[in-house]
Chain A
């Protein structure tokens, strides 16, 4: 493919620029900021950018003064094996359009156009172009001759993009290393995930075991509860049977008791009949106590009567009583005595008064005589009084005796009346009859008492109240009832007492079992309650484990992908490098010979590193390319670099676009390099952008871009200010000078490069 012309509109400073190219070596020259990069960019955009691209860098291409409708547009005319083609791209973001006319056919579908251009150029992408047909100015100028630099740059061409594989491989290796890191301190994500999984698994296993134990314990508890409940039920049944047996035993006792009571009531009833008979046999109808009292009183009365009568009979007769005579004459004697005393007193008084002592002697005997007479008279009076008193007492006694006798007669009569009344009250004619009556009644009552005693003895604690016959019958009925109930209970014919004993033992044993089961239930409950496993905590561990496993799965997957990617890149690298090495060895020998004036003719290319070795006939050995001179090395690199373009693009021969890669070369070095391009231009159209005119002589066409007259924002240059010559809208329409170069007269040395010569090596 060879570009015949390029027409750009509204790209940076070029609102409208058209240039024409020769099929061979074109040199586009101009000073800095003259728009060389814009033209270069225009070619690249025309060939590789989608018209619908919305990239920011495309938006920045528009002149700042352009109208909204002034979209960047590029028309590129080309020739492909004599067939003219025209590619038009209008960049308007999503509204961008494309048109490819060739051989009478027009394509407007961006995808199909891209395909067609890739087919024409052998360059599938802009990046691929950059690593092959596009050679930047720094690519060769900074080549330092180191093997690594050469290799990397050539490999970059080989990569299929604009980068080598080293960085990709390094990143993959580093990622793989990081993933697998198992240092003592730092663990990679794989190890971390595996450790976490192991930790979670152990924890989960423990937790699940605890949960299973909890379930087992709960099952154990349920079983223990079931057993205890069953035993409770069984025990209840046994206790029921025991109660049954106890009831039977009670009935037996009750029947026996009722029978005994029956017997006792029966005898009591008989006694009652006897007692009733005796009681009905009362002779007088008088109660015994009254009768006895009556008889006692009769006896007393009879006794009293006899006693009184005896008294009466023994008493003296009061009619025989006589009073004693009372003595008298005390008064005469008393008077004489008193007179004598008085006479004595007179005589005495006389004697005293008369002094007749003889008289006094007469007075004293007289006085004494008088006193004796008085005393005698007193004694006589006292005796008379005693006699009278004795007579009074006798009289009173007689009187009393008379009165007492009368009273006794009264009493006898009263007693006799009382006796008669008592006899009447006891309805006995006489005392003897009363006595007989008393004896008979006493005997009757004794019989009754004896019978009653027997009755009491018979009845004992039963009490003697009530109707004995009724009680007897009731006891008989009770006994019968108990016998009847017992008959019902003794269906199995077993002895109730024995059965009770057996059941008591059985219940006791059953209680023991139940208590044991209760204990087991308690233990089981204790086990359940002692298990502190937290299901939610275990759940959280399980969830964390799942998460960790998922993460490990992801990590392992990523690692597999990284390893597979690394492996595939190495494999692709190995395959392509081998081919490239062989291709270069086959095709570069002649170039080496030409470039080194025949000094070196054979070349070896390392298929691992793309490092060059040339055979030195002088040394008779292979020497590294780093031993070659700088200029030779440049040419060698260029030859290889462009050789790879040929290899990679097959026979499609895309235009080679060089952004002044030889800018730092001195003239001789640059001339050598351009001579190589010149030879190459037989097969490839070459467009070389430069500030220098030193290549003009070898160029088939020189396109000169004028000095910038105004502000140019290209290449990030500071626009500074508005310079003279700027058009009103800030755009610039440079005067392009396109003229033939000096190639017509230039003599090229050596054969054309890549003319399918026989391999030298």
Chain B
């Protein structure tokens, strides 16, 4: 029975606007994951490689990027493994499509139209892979936003050209109450009516699978995470199809290819005694493959001034990237206050009343800043050497 390698959402050339200097490293890692996926396909001698959209992050990717990707596809072609690709939502098949402007087969050193690299488009909606006795359907439109469901009215049960029927779709599965709409959306009922043996999906960056009627569907997830909170990313899928006569579902095995991990830590600022302590504690998670996101929240301990940017800089060398999200607020003074007749007392009372006024008018950002004013003023009045200002 045919074995497939299913991947999607490689997003070559993606922008990582929140990774700063680590962004280029992450792009390199995305390509490395793609390369490892090709290695897996060759090692496992699969019958076909399916890429369910968003191989490229945009249609404006340079020819050089396409050549790099094509050089990997060439390895597959030389190994006798056909590749079937559909455009996604980032590299959609509009007039600017990279697939219209560049011929991946030619870039891979093959002749135009070589059956070993197939881009499915509305003009060429399917391809029969004779060696695997399999037909692969690509369901997409010539626009980023689909005018209708890509699976609307799609039924392959009467197909006679091949025994195994596999679909490729890049879009979101409608899950009532969770995912109601998307640029490209389809339903489990439509999947069930498709008559496909396997539906290879792309668009969601985390691995998910399910069964609708006779059809097994799966999102492979991105080979390398493209953004935080993509815990299910980092792998490709090896899919072993069952006999067409059998009702047994295909077996799906996730093979890790990605290296980058995203770790999110929620830190209650109240438990942080000093910035140095926090840096020391965060350093315990040091890992060059990890992008660390630290969300500082809560009320900072009295007199502790946490500078997220400084923390990020200090930890930069220990992680692939560090993102500090400081939503903590400085503490309002507790305990006995200096008398109102003192400068500190007058300062605290004045700023605290401003904080209360800001909070009363629901100016949260203003209130947070005023809390910092209060904290900074108190620290400075208490001991100016405790805080670094520049």
- Name A's B-contacting residues (CB within 8 A): 111, 114-115, 118-119, 122, 124-125, 127-128, 155, 158-161, 163, 165, 167-168, 171-172, 174-175, 178-179, 189, 211-212, 214-216, 218-219, 221-223, 225, 528-529, 532-536, 539-540, 542-544, 546-547, 551, 554, 557, 560-562, 564-565, 568-569, 571-573, 575-577, 579-580, 647-650
Contact = CB atoms under 8 A, between A and B. Distances in A.
Interface of B: 13-21, 23-24, 27, 57-65, 94-98, 100-101, 308-309, 335-339, 341-348, 350-351, 354, 369-370, 372-373, 376-377, 380-384, 389-390
Nearest to B123: A229
Contact of A565 (B59, B309, B373, B390): B373
B146 to A, nearest CB: 19
Given A160-B343, A163-B381, A572-B346, A124 B335 contact: yes
A576 B342 CA distance: 6
B16 A543 contact: yes
Given A175-B390, A540-B23, A543-B17, A222 B95 contact: yes
Given A159-B381, A539-B13, A218 B336 contact: no
A160 B381 contact: yes
Contacts of B345: 160, 572, 576
Contact of A536 (B24, B335, B350): B24
Contact of B15 (A127, A155, A542): A542
Contact of A163 (B13, B14, B19, B384): B384
A539 B347 contact: no
Given A124-B336, A168-B384, A568 B347 contact: yes
Given A215-B59, A218-B97, A648-B341, A543 B382 contact: no
Given A174-B389, A529-B63, A221 B101 contact: yes
A174 B383 contact: no
Contact of B339 (A160, A529, A557, A572): A160
B333 to A, nearest CB: 10
B342 A562 contact: no
B339 A122 contact: yes
A533 B16 contact: no
Given A546-B17, A568-B347, A163 B336 contact: no
Contacts of A561: 369, 372-373, 376
Given A128-B338, A543-B20, A546-B18, 15 more contacts: A111-B335, A160-B348, A175-B389, A211-B60, A215-B59, A215-B96, A225-B100, A535-B57, A535-B62, A546-B20, A547-B21, A572-B345, A572-B347, A573-B346, A576-B346
Contact of B369 (A125, A540, A560): A560
Nearest to A571: B350
23 contacts: A114-B336, A118-B335, A127-B382, A168-B381, A168-B384, A172-B380, A216-B96, A218-B96, A221-B101, A222-B95, A533-B60, A536-B27, A536-B65, A543-B15, A560-B369, A561-B372, A562-B389, A565-B373, A569-B347, A573-B346, A576-B341, A579-B341, A649-B339
B60 A568 contact: no
B34 to A, nearest CB: 14
Contact of A562 (B15, B59, B337, B376): B376
B13 A648 contact: no
B27 A539 contact: yes
B224 to A, nearest CB: 15
A564 B369 CA distance: 9
A178 B389 CA distance: 10
B20 A534 contact: no
Contacts of B13: 535-536, 539
A242 to B, nearest CB: 27
Q: Among B101, B335, B345, which residue has the most Cβ atoms of chain A within 10 A? A: B101
Contacts of A160: 338-339, 342-348, 381
Contact of B377 (A189, A542, A568): A568
A174 B390 contact: yes
Contacts of B17: 542-543, 546
Contacts of A158: 341-343
A577 B341 CA distance: 8
B377 A569 contact: yes
Contact of B343 (A167, A543, A551, A569): A569
B68 to A, nearest CB: 10
A214 B60 contact: yes
Given A543-B15, A561-B376, A576-B343, A535 B60 contact: yes
Contacts of A539: 13-16, 23, 27
B15 A218 contact: no
A115 B335 contact: yes
Q: Among A215, A532, A572, which residue has the most Cβ atoms of chain B within 10 A? A: A572
Q: Among A539, A571, A649, which residue has the most Cβ atoms of chain B within 10 A? A: A539
Contacts of B308: 554
Given A160-B339, A565-B380, A222 B346 contact: no
Contacts of A529: 63
5 closest pairs, A vs B, by CB?
A160-B344, A160-B342, A160-B338, A118-B336, A124-B336
B101 A565 contact: no
A542 B15 CA distance: 8
Contacts of A179: 390
Contacts of B20: 543-544, 546-547
Contact of B389 (A163, A172, A579, A650): A172
Contacts of B100: 218, 221-222, 225
Contacts of A565: 373, 376-377, 380
